[in-house]
Structure 1
Amino acid sequence: MTRERTRAWIVGTIAILVSIVVFLVPFAFVLLQAAKSPSEASDLAFSWPKQFMFFQNLVDTLTSNDGVIGRAIINSAVLTIFSVLLMVIISAMAGYILARKRSKWGPVVNFFVLAGLIVPPAVVPTIWVLQGLKLFGTLPGMILVETTFGLSFCILLFRAFVGNIPRELDEAAVLDGAGPVRMFLRVVLPLLRPVIVTVIVVQAVFVFNDFAGPLYFLPGDQNVTVQLALYTFSGQNLSFYNLLFMAIFLITIPPLVAYIFFNRQIVAGMTSGAVKG
């Protein structure tokens, strides 16, 4: 027993050290460069700043290039919130139906859901569709694109989780006079909280950090997102590494905070449907 505990302690210590090296060290490097003067940051040295300019660099980053970083953060926040909201609503209902209802169309629907994870997105046809709907280059069009790309993953998570909810709850709700909509909203949906949190955090990080999607479907400076803004910012501020690293720091903070607060719910939601019982 002592040997097993010692082995577990050693493995845990190694895992913590690896996590520190892989995640915390790069984050600390970015934070240190963001607090330096332009001349110090250009050295790219892992050292404490001689002149602490964090807040000045923060103001300069948010106001440089006509405030593109601040505008990009707002656009990405709007894109993320509405995309994830649609994903949760649509995938929760679809996952519930696929897990509870048995029909001849079930295998066909499951095939297309899995195909959404395997088949790469078609860029040119998607652009044609958006242009036909007059949504190309707009945030509503990009919201629909992000929602569509994330639905397959979300539906699979909800379907697996609903499979672990006893059918007796549905039957009891029906006996109490609840209709399908009321049963889903009042009985099933509250039980889906772990997987809802998982979908929100995972998909929010994906949408917020998406680069290829806005590059193809959201051209223009007014609707620029954080990754496109960072790409443009890096090309225009190569001599000001302190501002570049400050921009990276600002873009990194929202996904990092979401993961810190919801990491347990993410694990619970990802593993809840792994074993059916």
Structure 2
Amino acid sequence: MTTALKRYGLGVLAIAVTVVLFIVPLAFMALTAVKDRREAAKLDFAWPTTFNFIENFQDVLSARKFMLVTAFINSTILTVASVTILVILAAMVAWILQRRRSRWNGVANFLILSGLIIPPAVVPTIWVLQSMGLFKTLPGLILIEVAFGLSFCVMLFRAFIASIPKELDEAAVIDGCGPVRLFFRVIFPLLRSVIVTVIVVQSVHIFNDFQNPLYFLPGDANATVQLTLFNFQSQFATSYNLLFMNILLITIPPFIMYLFFNRQIVAGMTAGAVKG
């Protein structure tokens, strides 16, 4: 009985913490987003006297020549391109590191861990992008996102590839598969659970990224969704109703993705952790 009560108490505590940390802020954001400017400025957790959802939505959408629409397009291109490159490149790197042992494996592992530990340097990165002619361009930011997310993805893929029998590779080679065909026809389809995990986690991370677009992709025409938050706040005044409406709109896509793929994320993480 005591054990059951403890489990029940822990469950209730977990639900309460979840409500406080996630549901309450989401509800506050939604309520503020539908208020008028005067009521929203109070920043209180109160029911609005009038619902201005449509008006606030139209104001946010049309602000600064429909900048939010441009930002959604830029963020979508950035996310899709970066995640596609990350999935293919990280899986290839992880497969080579796991299957082919050499004296360079130690160096490669050190570089991968360094990518997780050492923070990125902004000024040298800008200098490199300028020398390549990629500063203030979307391809340049795509390379940045790939570089910063590669270490994490390689470690996930490598942990899962360790569970795939090496005899499978040898049998495919005997049947006439070259390295490229072996990877894409045999190994890559087996990584489905980890691929889903990488796609969802990295998509949400890149779509919500604020720092990298701010530093490496300045300019209104290059704005991503997170940078549109500057449209409604300034040094002396902030339109909290429009600001929270903007936040609500850019929160919906990652929220939907997590809602539909949360089981796949957990499955991919645990599979790599157990089998690696």
For normalisation by structure 1, the TM-score amounts to: 0.93
TM-score (norm: length of structure 2): 0.94
Matched, 1:148 2:147: yes
Q: CA deviation at 1:35?
A: 1.2
Q: Secondary structure at the match of 1:222?
A: helix
Moved more, 175-184 or 11-20: 175-184
Could you tell me whether the CA contact under 8 Å between 2:232 and 2:238 is conserved in 1? no
What's the counterpart of residue 49 of structure 1?
48
Q: SS in structure 2 opposite 1:103?
A: coil
Shift of 1:233: 2.9
Q: d(CA) in 2 for partners of 1:195 and 1:17?
A: 31
Task: Map residues 105-254 of structure 1 onto 2, 5 A cutoff.
Answer: 105-235=104-234, 238-254=237-253
Partner SS state of residue 102, structure 1: coil
- Aligned partners of 1:233 and 1:107: how far apart in 2? 49
CA drift of 1:3 comes to: 3.7
Q: Distance in 2 between matches of 1:21 and 1:53?
A: 26
Cα shift at 1:272: 1.8
Q: Distance in 1 between matches of 2:231 and 2:35?
A: 22
Query: Which residue does the alignment assign to 1:96?
Result: 95
Cα drift, residue 22 of structure 1:
0.4
Checking the alignment, whether the CA contact within 8 Å between 2:63 and 2:231 is kept in structure 1 is no
Q: Give the Å deviation of 1:38.
A: 1.9
Letter in structure 1 aligned against 2:253: P
Give, in whole Å, the separation in 1 of the partners of 2:171 and 2:16: 50
Shift of 1:192: 0.8
Q: SS at 1:36's partner residue?
A: coil
Distance 1:232 1:218 in 2: 17
Q: Distance in 1 between matches of 2:206 and 2:238?
A: 30
Show the counterpart of 2:36: 37
Q: Is the 8 A contact 1:237 1:244 kept in 2?
A: no
Aligned AA (1:137): K
Q: 2:24 matched to 1:25?
A: yes
Separation (CA, whole Å) in 1 of partners of 2:26 and 2:49: 19
Q: Is the 8 A contact 1:69 1:230 kept in 2?
A: no
Bigger Cα displacement from structure 2, 226-235 vs 263-272: 226-235
Shift of 1:187: 1.6
Whether 1:263 and 2:262 are equivalent positions in the alignment is yes
C-alpha distance in structure 2 between counterparts of 1:255 and 1:126, whole Å: 28
Alignment match, 1:10: 9
Cα distance in 2 for partners of 1:239, 1:227 equals: 16
Query: What is the aligned partner in structure 1 of residue 274 from structure 2?
Result: 275
Secondary structure in 1 aligned to 2:77? helix
Deviation at 1:5, TM superposition (A): 3.3
Counterpart Cα distance in 2 of 1:229 and 1:157: 32
- Letter of the aligned partner of 1:172 in structure 2? A
Gaps of 5+ in 1: none
Number of residue-to-residue matches in the alignment: 276
Change (3 A) 1:74 1:233: farther
Q: Partner of 1:81 in structure 2?
A: 80
The alignment partner of 1:235 has SS state of coil
RMSD in angstroms over aligned alpha carbons?
1.8
The answer (yes or no) to whether the contact 1:38–1:239 under 8 Å persists in 2 is no
Q: CA 1:239 to 1:123, structure 2 compared with 1: closer, same or farther past 3 Å?
A: closer
Taking the aligned partners of 2:101 and 2:267, their CA distance within structure 1 comes to: 27
Equivalent position amino acid for 1:179 in 2 = G
Q: 1:40 to 1:93 in 2, by over 3 A?
A: same
CA distance in 2, matches of 1:130, 1:81: 21
Secondary structure at 2:220 match in 1: coil
Q: Aligned-pair distance for 1:69?
A: 2.0
Q: What CA deviation, in whole Å up to 9, does each residue of 1:36-70 have, x standing for no partner?
A: 22222222222222212212211111001222222
Q: CA deviation at 1:237?
A: 9.4
